[in-house]
Amino acid sequence: MKQTLKHIWHFYTEGFRAMTWGRVLWLIILLKLFILFFVLRLFFFPDFLKEKAGEGQQQKYVGNELIRRAR
């Protein structure tokens, strides 16, 4: 088991070391992920609980909504 993990680790490290265009492509992929998860989140996913419940009242709001929807 330990030897197998060692072989897998060496396989990937040698593969990444030998890449030429791969590094640029990985940089583009990471940049796209950053834009998707951090920048677009600011514009399309506002803080719903802060708008509805106010500061410090989130637990009470969620509890009331769960009770109301269960009825």
pLDDT tens per residue, range 9-55:
999 888 888 888 888 888 999 999 999 888 888 888 777 787 788 77
Structure tokens at 21: 């265009």
Q: pTM of the prediction?
A: 0.48
Question: How many domains does the chain fold into?
Answer: 1
Q: 34 near 47, Cβ under 8 Å?
A: no
Full domain range(s) for residue 44: 2-70
